[in-house]
Structures are given as C-alpha cells and as structure tokens.
Amino acid sequence: MLTYTAHRKADPLIPDHTIDHQGIVFIKDGFAWLALILPFFWMLWHRLWLPLAGYLAAVTLIAVAGYLLSLPDGLTGTIGLLANLFVGLEGNNFRRRALRKRGYEEIADIVADNGEEASYRYFAAQISNQNG
C-alpha cells in the first residue's frame, strides 16, 4: 500500500464547512519513476521551475567539470545518473512544496494501492462525513 496526500486550493471565499471537490490534487509519497527516466520533461509537465533550474545547473556543472577535469565518460555519466536519481527520490516532495507556494493546503493523507483508489477513498470519506 502507498500513501497519498490530498491538496486543495485554499480559498478565503469558501467557508470551511463547504466541500469543493474541484481542484484537489493527489500526490504519491514515494519514488517518481518517470522523474528518474525523464527528469527534464517531468519537471516541465508539473511546472517545477525552480527545481528544473537547479537540475539544469547541476547537469551543466557536471558536464563542464567532466570536460575540464578530463574525467572518464563513465564517471561523468554515473554522476549524471545520480542527479536523475535524486530527482526521482525527491520529485514528489518538489511537487508538494510547489503546490504549497501556489496556495494549496494539505488536507488529507490516504493509504491506497493507486491514485484512483486514493481519490475514491477520499471522496467516499467526504460523503460519509457529510451524511453524518
């Protein structure tokens, strides 16, 4: 089982007792495989501008250092893969921080097998709470 976090846009015009199911984002807590394989495009897709800039700076620095220090290509490639591994490990945390900066708040932690089940469990709990 995986843990997902649910995030909702905090809107001061909507009272706390009103449940607005639009705009809820579910993020898996764990490794992001696509971020490991295609980190540049994954960060573009999720609009993670600051981590993307940091990633590009790190990869550029690795390439320049490898060239200037005449490091073997295998070593430079391995260091680059470590940068991708870091993005895969921390990618979902980058998404949470970006959502927090955009005005979202974390509203729930859900344990589920996949994202679809996490959304089902969240909304079922919300309906159950409304019905008393």
What is the percent of the chain with per-residue pLDDT over 70, rounded to a whole number? 91
What's the pTM value of the predicted model, to 2 decimals?
Answer: 0.81
Which amino acid makes up residue 85?
L
Cα 7 to its chain centre, rounded Å, is: 12
Tens of pLDDT, residues 58-100: 999 999 999 999 999 899 999 999 999 999 999 999 999 999 9
Cite the DSSP H helix spans in 11-114: 33-37, 39-45, 49-68, 73-101
- pLDDT, greater one: 13 or 53: 53
Tens of pLDDT, residues 23-40: 789 999 999 999 999 999
CA atoms 108, 123, 17, 23: torsion sign: positive
Residue range 94-113: mean pLDDT, rounded: 93
